[in-house]
Amino acid sequence: MQEQKQEYMRRALALAQRGAGHVNPNPMVGCVIVKDGKIIGEGWHEHIGGLHAERNAFAHCTEDCTGADLYVTLEPCCHWGRTPPCTDAVIEHKIGRVFVGCLDPNPLVAGKGAQILRDAGIEVETGVCEDECRRVNEVFFHYITHKTPFVTLKYAMTLDGKIAAHTGDSRWVTGETARRHVHETRNRLPAIMVGIGTVLEDDPLLTCRIDGGRDPIRVICDSRARTPIDSRIVQTANKIPTYIAVVGQNERTAELERHGVHILECKTKNERVDLADLMRQLGALGIDGLLLEGGSALAFSALEAGVVHRVQAYIAPKIIGGAGAKSPVGGLGFDKMVQALPLKDVTCTPMDEDFLIEGRL
C-alpha cells in the first residue's frame, strides 16, 4: 500500500510540474483520483486564476467518485481566492480518503484545509512523498511567507573557475544540454536579473528560447541608469516587461520610461541599489522567483546582502586559464575561508559533457 500511495503521489507530482512557468505566484499542484485500483481522474493547476488541481481532476473524472481516494501534492485550500475552496469540491464529490503531499504554508490554509476534511468525516493522511512535494514548490514556500522572490544564482564556468577567456570570449562555456537547461529555468521562473555591466558588455536579450516557452520579466540592476537606449533590452521593452532598478530619477530614467521601461526607484546602500529593498519591491509586484544571471559584481553583492537562496552552477570540464579572465563571483570577496558561504542539500547532475552543481544557501 505504501508503494502504491507513493506511485500515485509521484504521478500527481509529474502532473503538477506541467504548470511550471504558468501559475506564478501560485504553487504547482497535481491531483489524481483513484477508485478500485484505477485512476479515474487527473488534473493540475494549469494557469494562474484558473481552476485548482483538485477541481480540474473532478472535471476530468470518467466515473462517479463516491468513496474514491484523492491524491494531491499540496493540502486542499479552504479559502476563497481567485477560485472557490477545494475542500468544498472534495466534500461535494463524496471522496472517501485524501492523501496530501505537504501542508500549504499559506496562512489562509495551513492545516485548516486538512481539518475541514476530517471534520466532514473524510480520512486524511498527510506527508506522502513530503520532501519531493516541498521541493517542487520551494519558490512558492519562500514567497508565501516572505513576500520577496526566491532567488537562484546561476552561472557557467570552466573547471578553472572562469566564465570567459581573458579576451572576454564566452561562446560557449558549456555544451548544448546545459544551455538548454538554463532556458528551461528561464521558462520556470517569472523573472531574470542582470547587472548593468552585463548589459554594457554582452547586450543580452534575456529571453527564453525554447518551443512554447515564455519570456521572463527582465530586471536590470543599474544604480545610475546607464542602460543604453539602443540596447536590445530597451529596444524590446514594449514587448517584454522590463524593470530597471535605479537609485534616483533623472532625465535618463525619464527617457528609459518613454521607451517602455518601468523604473524602480530603490533605497541606496553604499551608493548602489539596496538589493533587499529591490527584492521587497519585486515581491510587491507579485514576482515570486528570480534568476540572477550575473555579472560577477552583482552576484557578490547579492550573496553578501543575503538575498540569494539557491546556487545553480554549470561546470564545464575544460581549462581556459588567464589571470585576468573573469570568475562568476567578484566584488571584494570575503577575507577568510571561514566566511565562505556553504551550500546545503548539494546535488551534482551530469549534463552530457558538463555537470550541474546545485545547492541551497
Q: Does 52 bind ligand AOF (CB under 6 A)?
A: yes
Does the annotation mark 54 as catalytic? yes
Rounded to 5 degrees, what are φ and ψ at 207? -100, 175
Residue pointed to by grid coordinates 520551494: 138
Say if residue 293 carries a ligand binding annotation.
yes
The answer to whether residues 52 and 86 touch, using CB atoms and an 8 Å cutoff, is yes
Q: How many residues bind Zn ion (CB under 5 A)?
A: 3
H helix intervals, 213-284: 232-235, 251-258, 275-284
Tally of CA atoms within 13 A in the half-sphere of 255 that contains its CB:
10
Write each residue from 64 to 83 as x if it is in contact with ligand AOF (CB under 6 A), else as -, in one continuous string.
Answer: ----------x-xx---xxx
Q: Does 74 bind Zn ion (CB under 5 A)?
A: no
Select the residue interacting with ligand AOF from 13, 29, 122, 297 (CB under 6 A): 29
Q: Does 52 bind Zn ion (CB under 5 A)?
A: yes
- Give me the helix-helix angle, 275-284 and 296-305, nearest 10°: 80
If the CB atoms of residues 109 and 320 are measured against Zn ion, the closer one turns out to be: 109
The answer to whether residues 49 and 23 touch, using CB atoms and an 8 Å cutoff, is no
Q: Does 109 bind ligand AOF (CB under 6 A)?
A: yes
Select the residue interacting with ligand AOF from 45, 112, 186, 310 (CB under 6 A): 45
Is residue 165 left, alpha or beta, with left meaning phi > 0 and alpha meaning psi from -120 to 50? Answer: beta
**What's the rounded Cα separation, in Å, for the pair 356 and 272?**
31
If the CB atoms of residues 122 and 144 are measured against ligand AOF, the closer one turns out to be: 144
Q: Which of residues 82-141 bind Zn ion (CB under 5 A)?
A: 86
What's the min distance (Å) between Cβ of 117 and Zn ion? 12
Q: Which burial class, exposed, middle or buried, applies to 199 when counting CB atoms under 10 A from its CB (0-12, 13-18, 19+)?
A: buried
Q: Does 351 bind Zn ion (CB under 5 A)?
A: no
Say if residue 186 carries a ligand binding annotation.
yes
Select the residue interacting with Zn ion from 77, 128, 279, 303 (CB under 5 A): 77
CA distances from 101 to 13, 132, 166, 257, 350 (A): 9, 8, 49, 45, 28
Select the residue interacting with ligand AOF from 12, 15, 21, 26 (CB under 6 A): 26
Q: Which residue is closest to ligand AOF by CB?
A: 81
**What's the rounded Cα separation, in Å, for the pair 45 and 171?**
38
Identify the helix (H) or strand (E) that includes residue 55: helix 53-59
CA-based nearest residue to 81, from 63, 47, 42, 108: 108
DSSP per residue over 175-215, as a string?
A: -HHHHHHHHHHHHHSSEEEEEHHHHHHH-------STT--P
Find which of ligand AOF, Zn ion, none residue 81 binds, CB within 5 to 8 Å per kind: ligand AOF
Output the nine-digit C-alpha cell for 280: 521587497
The answer to whether residues 69 and 33 touch, using CB atoms and an 8 Å cutoff, is yes
If the CB atoms of residues 45 and 162 are measured against ligand AOF, the closer one turns out to be: 45
If the CB atoms of residues 77 and 356 are measured against Zn ion, the closer one turns out to be: 77
Say if residue 298 carries a ligand binding annotation.
yes
- Which of the stretches 36-44, 50-58, 157-165, 345-353 binds Zn ion when contact is defined by CB under 5 A? 50-58
Q: Hey, which residues does 347 pair with through a beta bridge?
A: 358
If the CB atoms of residues 73 and 231 are measured against Zn ion, the closer one turns out to be: 73
Say if residue 223 carries a ligand binding annotation.
yes
What's the min distance (Å) between Cβ of 81 and ligand AOF? 3
> Which residues make up the interface to Zn ion (CB under 5 A)?
52, 77, 86
Residues contributing to the annotated binding site = 52, 77, 86, 156, 170, 172, 186, 198, 202, 206, 209, 223, 293, 295-301
* Catalytic residue list: 54
Residues contributing to the annotated binding site for NADP(+) = 156, 172, 198, 202, 223, 295-301
> Which residues make up the interface to ligand AOF (CB under 6 A)?
26-27, 29, 45, 52-54, 74, 76-77, 81-83, 86, 104, 106, 109, 144
